[in-house]
Structure formats: structure tokens, C-alpha cells
């Protein structure tokens, strides 16, 4: 006697496949949200570690490192070590405080950071300077000034930059609209060729940003879309130009260097991240806050200065 085997009909199989597809469709966004939440926490932890390093530097030398150093009038030991042609970024100063003593020992302060003898340091990717939400990890920059050396070199890119203060061209706009006071000190804590102490942060350490995200470099990103160009020499974590002045951007046209958009319109030396609805920022008191992408340019400018006399308005 033959027994007929029961099996799935084609319709039943298609129904099962459709149900699985729906379940996967429902699950993927949840997985992506969990992954992004973990990446955002990791990014915040990177900034907290950088905050500890910057505070450790301040404990050792009485001041924060400069946002960039192109002059030798700095605290010892660099006043005797920095050569006249050397241009250093803030990150090179804190290498011993992020457990990178060996890299710091290899670094030639008497030479330019792009010098071939500094390749072992500036071309070395450091995860503490990379946000996991940013695309293309272990990115490198090969253009000027690295392409002028023999042999040509490269620089490892990072996602965190110091805020130097308010762009001088933005100051009259804010003053004319009664958004900031005049006269005022519009420098950030880590301004170029300047080493500030806690006592010089008159706006309060909890109201002043040290370092924030400027992610995705060296590629140019605008409103979540990658452009055709590269960020000009401001992408290397150890680079001279790893910092910026706040000036705002035109959201409709991110190539316009002026406008009310404060966050996530361009990573061309402005606040930019790949997190949803904002970007992380390290404050002078060592805390890390998530800045909403709805923050006003006035509020971001107030947070950028160390002694501007502004009072940040609203939540950020």
C-alpha cells in the first residue's frame, strides 16, 4: 500500500517566505538602532578619554595644549624643542596621556609634522580619534603637504577636532543681532598659538566646548551625502589644521560658508557627525554632551568661546 507524502504547496511556501521577509524588515531597523546606539556610546567614550588626557596635560603643565602650534612661545619643554618650521596639532601634545608614549618618543618636534621622519607617528591610525559611526575607518590623506616630501607620505585621519572660537567674520553678524556682547573674547579654550588655563575660562567649564566631532574626513560630506572633493589638509589627527572656527553653514547650499546651520550640514571644518539628530562634544569640565542638530548658531557660538560673556540659551 502506497502512502502519500505530505509537503508544502507552492502557495504555502510563498506565504512562509513573505512572513520571514516581513519579520526581517521589522527586525533590521531595530538592529540598526541598537548598533548606532552602541556606536554613539563608543564615540562618547572616545571623547571622555580625550577629556581625561587633556585634563592630565593641564595637571602636568598648568594649561591646555594649543589648538595648533606654529610659534615657539609655548611652555617648556616645547619652547626649546619646536623648530621654526614646525606646525603641530593639539593631539600630538597629549600622546603620553592616551598611553601612546612610544609614538610621542618617535615624534620629532623640531621637524614639521609632515616630514618623512614623522611618518611613523602621523600615518599611524589611532582608534581613540575615530568615531565608529563614521564610514571608511583607517582613512588616510595623501594630498598637500604629504605629497611634497620625498618619498611622498600620508596622514591618518580622525573624527575629532578642537574648536578655536568664533570666526571673526561671524562676530559682527552676531553683535548686530544682539546675540553676543561686544567687546568680547571670542577665542576657544584651545585657540591657535595659545595655551589657556582653567582660570581663563570665564564662561564656565560646563558651558565651553573643547573638542567636538568633525567626522568622515578626509572625504567631504554635506547633509549626509558624500561630495567629490577632499577636506584640505584638515583631516589628519596629528595635523596642524585639526580644528576650526565656528561660522555656520547654509543648509540649502553647504558650499556656502555662512548660514544659520550649526551642526551636520558640512564636515568642511564645522561640527559634523554620522549620528542621528546631532553630534557629540567634549566640554572643558570633562563631560560629554550630545548636541542636537536643531541647536542655533548663536548657542553653538556661545559654547565655543571661553570668555565671551554669553549665556547659552535653551537645551543643546
SS3 labels along 231-294: CCCCCECCCCCCEEEECCECCCCCCCCCCCECECCECCCCEECCCCCEEEEEECCCCEEEEECC
Q: What is the pLDDT of residue 306?
A: 93
Q: What is the pLDDT of residue 187?
A: 93
Q: What is the pLDDT of residue 71?
A: 57
Spell out, as residue ranges, where the chain has pLDDT lower than 70: 1-8, 12, 26-34, 36, 71-86, 137-138, 175-183, 313-315
Q: Does residue 105 fall inside a structural domain?
A: yes
Q: Domain span at residue 233? A: 36-310
Task: State how many domains the chain has.
Answer: 1
Q: What is the pLDDT of residue 14?
A: 74
Q: Does residue 296 fall inside a structural domain?
A: yes
Q: Does residue 22 fall inside a structural domain?
A: no
Q: Does residue 94 fall inside a structural domain?
A: yes
Q: Does residue 41 fall inside a structural domain?
A: yes
Q: What is the pLDDT of residue 68?
A: 86
Q: What is the pLDDT of residue 32?
A: 58
> What are 27-85's pLDDT values in tens digits?
666 555 557 678 889 999 999 999 999 999 999 989 999 998 875 555 555 555 555 55
Q: What is the pLDDT of residue 171?
A: 78
Q: What is the pLDDT of residue 109?
A: 82
Q: Does residue 127 fall inside a structural domain?
A: yes
Q: Does residue 249 fall inside a structural domain?
A: yes
Q: What is the pLDDT of residue 193?
A: 86
Tell me the pTM. 0.85
Q: Does residue 18 fall inside a structural domain?
A: no
Amino acid at each position: 500500500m502506497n502512502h502519500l507524502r505530505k509537503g508544502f504547496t507552492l502557495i504555502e511556501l510563498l506565504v512562509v517566505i513573505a512572513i520571514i521577509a516581513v519579520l526581517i524588515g521589522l527586525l533590521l531597523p531595530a538592529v540598526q538602532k541598537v548598533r548606532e546606539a552602541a556606536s554613539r556610546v563608543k564615540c562618547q567614550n572616545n571623547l571622555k578619554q580625550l577629556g581625561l588626557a587633556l585634563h592630565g596635560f593641564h595637571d602636568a603643565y598648568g594649561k591646555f595644549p594649543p589648538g595648533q602650534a606654529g610659534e615657539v612661545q609655548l611652555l617648556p619643554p616645547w619652547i626649546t624643542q619646536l623648530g621654526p618650521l614646525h606646525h603641530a596639532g593639539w593631539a600630538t601634545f597629549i600622546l603620553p596621556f592616551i598611553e601612546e608614549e612610544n609614538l610621542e618618543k618617535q615624534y620629532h618636534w623640531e621637524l614639521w609634522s609632515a616630514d618623512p621622519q614623522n611618518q611613523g607617528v602621523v600615518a599611524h591610525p589611532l582608534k581613540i580619534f575615530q568615531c565608529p559611526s563614521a564610514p571608511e575607518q583607517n582613512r588616510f590623506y595623501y594630498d598637500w603637504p604629504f605629497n611634497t616630501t620625498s618619498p611622498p607620505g600620508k596622514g591618518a585621519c580622525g573624527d575629532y577636532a578642537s574648536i578655536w572660537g568664533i570666526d571673526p567674520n561671524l562676530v559682527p553678524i552676531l553683535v548686530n543681532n544682539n546675540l553676543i556682547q561686544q567687546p568680547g573674547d571670542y577665542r576657544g579654550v584651545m585657540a591657535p598659538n595659545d595655551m589657556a588655563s582653567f582660570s581663563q575660562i570665564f564662561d564656565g567649564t560646563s558651558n565651553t566646548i573643547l573638542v567636538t566631532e568633525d567626522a568622515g574626513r578626509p572625504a567631504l560630506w554635506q547633509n549626509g551625502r558624500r561630495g567629490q572633493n577632499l577636506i584640505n589638509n584638515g583631516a589628519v589627527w596629528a595635523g596642524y589644521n585639526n580644528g576650526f572656527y565656528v561660522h555656520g553653514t547654509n543648509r540649502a547650499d553647504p558650499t556656502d560658508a555662512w548660514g544659520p546651520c550649526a551642526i551636520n550640514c558640512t564636515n568642511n571644518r564645522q561640527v559634523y557627525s554620522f549620528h542621528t539628530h546631532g553630534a557629540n562634544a567634549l566640554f572643558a569640565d570633562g563631560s560629554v554632551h550630545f548636541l542636537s542638530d536643531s541647536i542655533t548658531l548663536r548657542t553653538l557660538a556661545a559654547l565655543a568661546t571661553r570668555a565671551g560673556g554669553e549665556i547659552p540659551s535653551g537645551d543643546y
